Amino acid sequence: MWRRYGDAVYALFVLGGFVLQAAALALLTWSFIPAASRLFPSATPTRALLGALLLTTTALLGIVGFILGYYLIGARREARRDAEVRAWAERWTGVVFGAEAPEGPLPPRALEGLLEVRDKLRGSGAQALGQLFERYWSRDVLIRPLRSRRLVKRLDALDRLARARLASTFFPMLHATEGADARTRGMALRAAARTLALYPEGPATDEAQDAFAAALDDERISTGAALETLMLLEDGCSGVAMRLFDDPTPRWLRWAAIEAAGRLERVDLGLSIAALVDDLDPEIRAAALRALHGIRMIPGSAEDRVRRLLYDEVDFVRVQAARAAELLPFGSIASRMWEMLGDPSWWVRRTAAEVVGGHGATGAAMLDWAARTHPDRYARHMAIQFLFDGQQIDLGTAERLRSVV
Amino acid sequence: MEWLVISFERFILLYFAVLALTYAYFGYLGVRSVIVYSRELSPLALGDHLSRDVAKPVSILIPAFNEAASIVESVRSLLSMHFPRFELVVVNDGSTDPTLELLREHFALIEVPLAYRQVLPSREVRGIYRSLRYPNLMVIDKENGGRADALNAAINAARYPLVCAIDADTFLDADAVLRASRVFGEDETVVGIGGTIRPVNGAVVEDGQVTSLRVPKRWIERFQVIEYARAFFVGRAAWSKLSALMLISGAFSIFRKEALVAIDGYWTETVGEDMEVVFRLHRHYRSLGKPYKLLFTPDPIAWTEVPSDLRSLRAQRNRWQRGMLETLWRHRSMTFNPRFGRLGMLGVPHYWLFEAAAPVVEVLGYAALIVSAATGVLFAQFAVMFLLLALLYSVLFSQFAAGIESFLLARYPRTRDRMILLAASFLEFIGYRQILVFERFRACFQVRRKAKQWGARRRVGIREPAGR
């Protein structure tokens, strides 16, 4: 982690040091060129060297002075700033819970304190803080730096906006996602997602979700970044994810939306996700199955389809189907799980063993039976390994069974 | 004779001028990249990333050869990392000290007959162990084959898509892997990332985490604090910004496993496998015409125990110099090769001229000083002033880096430490620098004779707080 003050000034000092060095070295090199020394007879190498020494000493003194000053003043300033922000955060918390609101205008630390609390509260508390912000400041305080030509200012502004999570700043943030700089784009998307997560309910939400889904559909965004952004939407994920499940959405984004819905356990999307298990793309089928497993629910209408996918031609789909099938009655999948213990893919065999092993005493008995009698050698091996890993058999028993296998 | 000395002096001047300006520019690039990086990955962004559990899982590979002094603490440190899904693969590379026994004892290891797919060639694996206490800890015991060979064996056993190679005496900041892995998720063209390495000597380590920083007691260690800051905050940061990073330190590097497998893993015939693997990754992706990135990020931070005695330090620098020469020679076709862009036209020539040849030029400079003094052509006043200028430049670069370090939350906290480091950046020029330059000069002529030799290293181990 880094201190985020004084660094721009330091960059100027270093740039100054660079310029002074360039001047010093140019002077020195010049003095060695015979023609040049004829032009300026006073610029002898010794004098040039003396000049270079003076310039370098100046640069060094500047840098050392900055560093020591940063140490001595910075530490004190940091402590004072932290104490002030903490005090304001406590004061705002008090205001949310009924204490008297302060008289304006307020110092900048008050805004920092408010942002600290705003990020931690949810529900009515967060709303109250949003209203307090509107009362004392204009949204322009947060948005104006977004228009700065300096990248660092834009990134700082987005960090504050991400903490503020104010609906009124949502669209300017989304606008920032159209820029050319990848860092600004990524941060703007995340800040917008955090804001959309706390968006007040109403018709404006639909418009915001539409706009957000459209902003995500940008090939410059990586799948990982899209997934993280969608997960930042929290409860607001469902509305956006639904918009991305449809066919015109690029495959990578659909995958991210399904994955996010599963990880956020969006039960309300169960039916929509279940509809995707028949997709032509195996990656989408696998993601949909994984999501169903994530939300711990397979709609009745999809049960047969999940069972059918246990026979899918693609091994990673079979893996995910086996995981999802864990949610179905064991009796309806037991015989297929027995077969899958001998699947050509190690991953499918392992998953089948995990699913069977997850069914308590019945599963353990089935694995024990498989370890001794399964017609497939690899199935027997997997059953032994799984029982050993789960410490259900000791090393000696495992070795003995293996020698029989 | 006089003509020769003057010509050489002019060459030295030009060499010095280009080098000084390059490093000053690098200093500026380093500061710029830290400024942007500190905003890009704010505490808020990192917290979101961790809580959303979107990080790609990582296999951490730890080759260990005679690491009894620090292996237990290192593994403990890594097990306490903030990261949702990771495994540790420790490779006991035929140690002759009790490395394996210590691991067995402290982590309750049992031998398991695990399936082992040998995708990359490595020396024979004698056994695989798993911990009864930590399901994500695996230890491979194999015949000695060197660091690269041990890493290849570890890659074979690794389960996850990202592999993080670290030294056995390296401690990682709790969220170091999280920070690095995030970049892989954000940008699918990233194939490798290196973080900053800082000396752990003098620091207090509790439960595998650096809790308090103090400047080390010995000057030899203090000089290395300055050197590491210069190398990482200035050098690596700048090359990364120029898309021409040529070295990702073996003490802490993360790669996509598929990328390492595609280039047949680490090359076992060199002592500079960390640099060589980066060169080969560049070649591989350039030849495929696929977009790729090899990056340095200033924070994640890894802590490593640096040599505290001159003999170990000389052996280390000798090895680094040989490793660099082996790599540069193996990939000499990249030099001034426009197919490799900035890397071929700028990076590799820079390494030849200002890294590989630097000790030769410097030793010749000292020799010229002596010869010109002996033959009476030395202009003493000028020579002294020039040496003073070189000293000031060197201190200035060190302070550029020290300045960047002071923006870290985990910086040396006391002003006294800062003064010591300032003094160290002056004093390193007197004796310390010359000893290492001569060692690197010697290494230039030992590349063949000492092939694959690592040299002796004495480890002291890290400092625990009093009363523990």
Q: Distance from A379 to chain B by nearest Cα, in Å?
A: 14
Most confident of A45-54, A103-112, A370-379: A370-379
A173-222 pLDDT per residue, tens: 999 888 888 889 999 999 999 999 988 888 889 999 999 999 998 888 88
A25-68 pLDDT per residue, tens: 888 887 777 666 666 666 677 888 888 899 999 999 999 999 99
Give me the pLDDT at residue B456, please.
Answer: 63
Contact A228 B52 (CB under 8 A): yes
Q: Distance from A310 to chain B by nearest Cα, in Å?
A: 24
Q: Where is pLDDT greater, at B131 or B208? A: B131
Which residues in chain B are closer than 8 Å to A159, comparing Cβ atoms? 39, 42, 44-45
Among chain A residues, the shortest Cα distance to B35 is held by A7
Which residues in chain A are closer than 8 Å to B128, comparing Cβ atoms? none
Task: Report the Cα A266 to chain-centroid distance in Å.
Answer: 18
In single-letter form, the type of residue at position A170 comes to F
Which residue spans within B134-276 are E strands per DSSP?
Answer: 137-142, 162-166, 170-172, 190-199, 204-206, 209-212, 252-256
Two tokens, residue B427: 């004093």
In chain A, residues 176-205 whose CB comes closer than 8 Å to chain B: 182-183, 186-187, 190, 194
Helices (H), B41-69: 43-52
Which residues in chain A are closer than 8 Å to B8, comparing Cβ atoms? none
Q: Distance from A54 to chain B by nearest Cα, in Å?
A: 9
In chain A, residues 219-238 whose CB comes closer than 8 Å to chain B: 222-225, 227-228, 231-232
Which residues in chain A are closer than 8 Å to B14, comparing Cβ atoms? 29
What number of H helices and E strands is found in chain A? Answer: 22, 0
Q: Where is pLDDT greater, at B384 or B152? A: B152
pLDDT band at B468 (very low <50, low <70, confident <90, very high): very low
Alpha-carbon distances, residue A368 vs A337, A341, A348, A360, A374 (angstroms): 14, 12, 18, 12, 10
Provide mean pLDDT across the span B406-418: 84
B126-148 pLDDT per residue, tens: 999 988 888 899 999 999 999 99
Q: Distance from B394 to chain A by nearest Cα, in Å?
A: 10
Q: Distance from A330 to chain B by nearest Cα, in Å?
A: 28
Give me the pLDDT at residue B208, please.
Answer: 72
Least confident of A91-105, A258-272, B38-52, B79-93: B38-52
The DSSP annotation for B99-145 comes to HHHHHHHHHTEEE-------SS--SPEEEEEEESS-TTEEEEEE---
Q: Is A347 on the interface with B (CB under 8 A)?
A: no
**DSSP 8-state class, residue B61:** E
Which residues in chain B are closer than 8 Å to A151, comparing Cβ atoms? 36
* B contact test, residue of A4, A15, A25 with most B CBs within 10 A: A25
Contact B403 A66 (CB under 8 A): yes
Provide mean pLDDT across the span A88-112: 89
Alpha-carbon distances, residue A201 vs A209, B331, B407 (angstroms): 12, 61, 42
Contact B407 A45 (CB under 8 A): no
Which residues in chain B are closer than 8 Å to A46, comparing Cβ atoms? 381-382, 385
Sorted by sequence, the CB contacts under 8 Å of residue A332 that are 6+ apart come out as A303, A307
Which among B324, B323, B337, B321 has a CA at the least distance from the CA of B443? B321
Which residues in chain A are closer than 8 Å to B415, comparing Cβ atoms? 68, 71-72
Which residues in chain B are closer than 8 Å to A70, comparing Cβ atoms? 403, 406
Q: Distance from A117 to chain B by nearest Cα, in Å?
A: 13
Among chain B residues, the shortest Cα distance to A64 is held by B399
Give me the pLDDT at residue A326, please.
Answer: 93
CA–CA–CA angle B72, B76, B80 (5° rounding): 170
**DSSP 8-state class, residue B307:** P
Which residues in chain B are closer than 8 Å to A145, comparing Cβ atoms? none
Among chain B residues, the shortest Cα distance to A225 is held by B186
Phi-psi region of A396 (alpha: psi -120 to 50; beta: other; left: phi over 0): alpha
Q: Distance from A189 to chain B by nearest Cα, in Å?
A: 12
Alpha carbon distance, N-terminus to C-terminus of chain B? 66
In single-letter form, the type of residue at position A173 comes to M
The DSSP annotation for A89-126 comes to HHHHHHHHTTPPPPPSS--HHHHHHHHHHHHH--HHHH
Q: Is A54 on the interface with B (CB under 8 A)?
A: no
Least confident of A61-75, A251-265, B431-445: A61-75
Option in B20, B25, B186 nearest A224 (CB): B186
Contact B24 A232 (CB under 8 A): no
Sorted by sequence, the CB contacts under 8 Å of residue A386 that are 6+ apart come out as A350, A353, A354, A357, A367
Among chain B residues, the shortest Cα distance to A71 is held by B415
Give me the pLDDT at residue B317, please.
Answer: 95
pLDDT band at B460 (very low <50, low <70, confident <90, very high): low
Provide mean pLDDT across the span B42-67: 87
Give me the pLDDT at residue B457, please.
Answer: 61
**CA dist., res. A88 & res. A86, Å (int):** 5
Among chain A residues, the shortest Cα distance to B393 is held by A56
Option in B13, B21, B28 nearest A15 (CB): B28
Share of chain B above pLDDT 70, in %: 96
Q: Distance from A7 to chain B by nearest Cα, in Å?
A: 6
- Do residues A379 and A370 lie in contact, with contact meaning Cβ atoms separated by under 8 Å? yes
In single-letter form, the type of residue at position B468 comes to R
Among chain A residues, the shortest Cα distance to B301 is held by A1
- Do residues B148 and B326 lie in contact, with contact meaning Cβ atoms separated by under 8 Å? no
Q: Distance from A242 to chain B by nearest Cα, in Å?
A: 20
Phi-psi region of B118 (alpha: psi -120 to 50; beta: other; left: phi over 0): beta
How many A×B Cβ pairs under 8 Å?
172
**DSSP 8-state class, residue B311:** H
Least confident of A118-132, B176-190, B389-403: A118-132
Gyration radius from chain A CA atoms = 32
Which residues in chain B are closer than 8 Å to A12, comparing Cβ atoms? none
* B contact test, residue of A4, A10, A12, A14 with most B CBs within 10 A: A14
Which residues in chain A are closer than 8 Å to B407, comparing Cβ atoms? 2-3, 6-7, 10
Q: Distance from A375 to chain B by nearest Cα, in Å?
A: 21
Q: Distance from B445 to chain A by nearest Cα, in Å?
A: 33
The pLDDT of residue B90 is above 90? yes
Among chain A residues, the shortest Cα distance to B115 is held by A385
The pLDDT of residue A302 is above 70? yes
Sorted by sequence, the CB contacts under 8 Å of residue A116 that are 6+ apart come out as A85, A88, A89, A163
Contact A119 B17 (CB under 8 A): no
